[in-house]
A and B are shown apart, each in its own frame.
Chain A
Amino acid sequence: MSIDSESAPLLQIKDLSVAFEQDGHKTLAVDHVSLNLHKGETLAVVGESGSGKSVTALSVVRLLPYPAASHPSGVIDFKGRDMLGLDDRQLQGVRGNEISMIFQEPMTSLNPLHRVEKQVGEILRRHRGLSERAARERTLELLHSVGIGEPEKRLGSYPHQLSGGQRQRVMIAMALANEPDLLIADEPTTALDVTVQAQILALLKEIQTRSGMAMLFITHDLGIVRKIADRVAVMTEGKVVEEGPTESVFTSPQAPYTRHLLAAEPKGSAPPPKPDAPIIVETENLKVWFPVKRGLMRRTVDHIKAVDGIDLTVRRGETLGIVGESGSGKTTLGFAILRLISSSGRIVFMGDAIDTRSWAAMRPLRSKMQIIFQDPFGSLSPRMSVADIIAEGLKIHTQLSAQERDERVIQALVEVGLDPETRMRYPHEFSGGQRQRVAIARALVLEPDFIMLDEPTSALDRSVQAQVVDLLREVQARRDLTFLFISHDLQVVRALANEVIVMRNGKIVERGHTVDIFESPKTDYTKALMAAALYHESAPEGIVAD
């Protein structure tokens, strides 16, 4: 890729600030940012949530919630025009035509009531005035170019009939419809599985080489940046702290924040297995089948086999990592082991067969098995104070007085590294990482033996992830806890798990010691998963989902 740095840049952001006004207070989201983007170049803007990276990108096409948002300073020069000075009509001509965007969530970005043909064709007809027939031809061509198999059949599909990766491909086809000069990609792969993520990145790169458009790529994932960008701008608190060619930023970061970000990978190597420790959880031929009912009599004609005959053993003090793409049944497996959904097959918890116990008979055991969820925003009741949230389990499982409960809550908060003085506050006053700590405190306060962690770090920023992983490891060592760690983030699994199970379509594809799985995967599927997750490389067709 040749970058002609002599000529004027395609997009020039000069001294841009964005302020948001709420309740009469102004807060500055973007603080005097300057960026240049040349034709055919990819500029990645990286930063953690709240760093102002998306707001910067949205300012380019003026998609912010005006008038709550305003630009106290700055110029955005796109092909010689100041975007901030254009009127609505002129903006309409630029949006979707010369500049297009793809967003994070392909499900909500597509209209659920329109077929693929209409979604893509509408842009062609509106911006280019193509006839129905010509639009159809061009749509087919576009779908083909974004790698959708059998595009003729897919023309009539609704968004919900497509997989996540296919939806994102349709979004890309829509963005490319008018051959834009600039593509703004706002976290386009964050909501996708790692394997699909790798495919989409490869596709974007290929299209860019083919069409020579410039790309402004917003992401929080440094691995992706390294894979796709020519230049990187690192943002934090609304400011660009470092900008430069990708390689030099990664190899010799100048700003302390960049160094901090690069160092924030989950560290530590997998602990060795403990073959002599007592068994905490054991399952035998565990199945969760959801019946598919059809017809007048609601006869069961088929089953969706979410979990299909899983045998596993977890020993005290060990962490069993379960990895796989979304839809592989890993969360369902975890819920079945905790008896939160019905299943068949034997489950033994600390020597008791629990698969036949009723909901009421399970209750005494609930204090020994706990669960930590992915989304720390969703897993804490927004209308209860942190003290109430943590103490809820104590009220059920213990006979403690209010004061003793409060002491236990304080202990738990200290253990997870939060200030106990904050316990009367509500979850919305805490950051994502702090909320996840509250969720961990809620699980720990009952002194459980076994904790199921369902993607506990996926919703967190990288640097926070590393802290949460450190905390989990420390707590596990101190209390001799047993973890069932469900994640699609292989780096985190590598840092924590003694043993790993790779799942696909409800079945175990491969199992073994973490070190063995990561260093010498045996099946093609595991190899593809590793390549995608650790190096963002897409696999040959047919091995993973699309």
Chain B
Amino acid sequence: MDQRADAPSSEPDFALPPAEREATAVATGPGFRVAQTLNQRRWRLFKAHRRGYVSLWIFAFLFTFTLFAEFIANDRPLLISYKGEILSPVLVNYPEERFGGFLARTDYRDPFIRDEINANGWMIWPPIRYDYRAVNSAPPTPLPAAPSWMFTKQERCASLAGGVDNPDCSIWHWNWLGTDDQGRDVLARVIYGFRISILFGLVLTAASSVIGIAAGAVQGYFGGLTDLLFQRFIEIWTSIPTLYIILILSAVFTSNFFLLLGILLVFSWVSLVGVVRAEFLRARNFEYVSAARALGVGNFTIMWRHLLPNAMVATLTFLPFIMNGSITTLTSLDFLCFGLPPGSPSLGELLAQGKNNIQAPWLGISGFCVVALMLSLLIFIGEAVRDAFDPRKTFS
């Protein structure tokens, strides 16, 4: 960027005639302007697209933030000092026997355990003392309960033993966005839900890109009968109704993250085939590909080294939009209860609760805001990527 700041002063005034201009021009000399590589130009174009650039930073922040969801919203303390030992329940699952209880999974919010640990050391809690399945055992109203800031302190702690004097009646036990109909903290579920949606989207996009690019490359490069048969197969394949297959399979298997990913992948890889195939069809007759063939370079080397870089531009432009599609699919399946297994922190399930509990608008509004924010950010990033890869884009 320093280079740009220097540029105007070293630039001659073109309105002057050549003879005068040479006399007044600042000496520049060779190597004054370093040739820009293609990627530098793209990155500059991307940054010039303010909305996309800001979206990328917000998205990057939210994604890194939620990757550490366990350290932000958890019903287990980060660190415990108990009888001279330093324990970290976030990372290790200590049985309750250790603290004198009997459960397999320690309930650190249980008054007995809490008092026991506090008597023999101390605990450091994350800022939100619920994870996606932790239940607020003493909600101020029947479930779903409204966000805690809507109540006075008396109302909020009314159902706790001892009322406002109970140590649990602190800001750390607030449900900032209320609870759902099972008493689980909405904020914690939204944080975990954001993470699982993005991860699911990323994995599905990456996997379907790999398969889609490979299939498109083979079709485009070899053309002819290969292409013809493959294209007909894809036409038949895409006419299979995905939703019914998922319905049938979810009746047979218990759904989980990877099964769902697998089923969706089987149908989603076709989305990139068309683009990649077209790029390969176009580029396989380029002269440098002919030149490589004349050198005796093998087919797969040509595809990898000469053709794939061309196809990557079109592919990368598509990726943010494909990812958006993947996330939307997951959310809608969750909404219809055919998605992730029950209890998973999914945004679709939150939206479904919102629909079933119109009297509790914090459910629907929270779900809507998070999904809308996530999808909008991705679309804005996608737009900026598309502009950055546009070779004809000029900024005046």
> Footprint of B on A, CB under 8 Å?
15, 17, 19, 21-26, 28, 31-32, 65, 67-68, 72-73, 239, 338, 340, 362-363, 366-367, 369-371, 373-375, 378-381, 383-384, 392-393, 396-397, 426, 428-429, 439, 442, 446
Contacts and interface: CB of A to CB of B under 8 A. Distances in A.
A338 B36 CA distance: 38
A32 to B, nearest CB: 5
A378 B296 contact: no
B296 A397 contact: yes
Contacts of B309: 381, 383
Interface in B98-143: none
Q: At the interface, is chain A mostly helix, strand, loop or mixed?
A: mixed
A270 B38 CA distance: 44
- 4 tightest CB-CB pairs across the interface, nearest first? A366-B296, A379-B287, A72-B14, A393-B295
Given A23-B36, A25-B33, A367-B296, A17 B15 contact: yes
B280 to A, nearest CB: 14
A156 to B, nearest CB: 31
29 contacts: A15-B17, A17-B14, A22-B394, A24-B8, A25-B33, A28-B14, A31-B14, A31-B18, A32-B18, A65-B394, A340-B293, A362-B296, A366-B295, A370-B294, A371-B294, A374-B287, A378-B287, A379-B287, A379-B291, A380-B288, A380-B291, A381-B292, A381-B309, A383-B310, A384-B306, A392-B297, A396-B296, A396-B298, A428-B38
B294 A338 contact: yes
B296 A363 contact: yes
B288 A21 contact: no
Nearest to A394: B295
A544 to B, nearest CB: 28
Q: Which of B7, B33, B291 has the most CB of A within 10 A?
A: B291
Given A21-B396, A397-B295, 5 more contacts: A32-B18, A369-B294, A373-B291, A378-B288, A379-B291
A24 B394 contact: no
B68 interface: no
Q: At the interface, is chain B mostly helix, strand, loop or mixed?
A: helix
A426 B288 CA distance: 14
Given A373-B287, A396-B296, A67 B7 contact: no
B188 to A, nearest CB: 46
Contact of B15 (A73, A363, A378): A73
A72 B15 contact: yes
A363 B291 CA distance: 13
Nearest to B33: A25
Contacts of A22: 394
A25 B11 CA distance: 8
Contact of B7 (A24, A239, A369, A378): A24
B286 interface: yes
A21 B7 CA distance: 12
A25 B309 CA distance: 29
Interface in B298-326: 298, 305-306, 309-310
A362 B296 CA distance: 8
A32 B15 CA distance: 9
A72 B21 CA distance: 13
Given A32-B17, A72-B14, A429-B35, A375 B394 contact: no
A268 to B, nearest CB: 27
Nearest to A393: B295
Nearest to A373: B287
B14 A23 contact: no
B44 interface: yes
Contact of A396 (B13, B15, B33, B295): B295
Contacts of A378: 286-288
B290 interface: yes
Contacts of B14: 17, 19, 26, 28, 31, 72-73
Contacts of A21: 396
Interface string B23-48: 00000000001011110010010000
Contacts of B232: none
B303 to A, nearest CB: 13
A428 B286 CA distance: 16
A371 B108 CA distance: 76
B296 A24 contact: no
B11 A26 contact: yes
A374 B287 CA distance: 9
B287 A375 contact: yes
Contacts of A24: 4, 7-8
A68 B4 contact: no
Nearest to A374: B287
Contacts of B396: 21, 67-68
Q: Which of B14, B33, B38, B44 has the most CB of A within 10 A?
A: B14
B295 A392 contact: yes
Contacts of B306: 381, 384
A426 B36 CA distance: 11
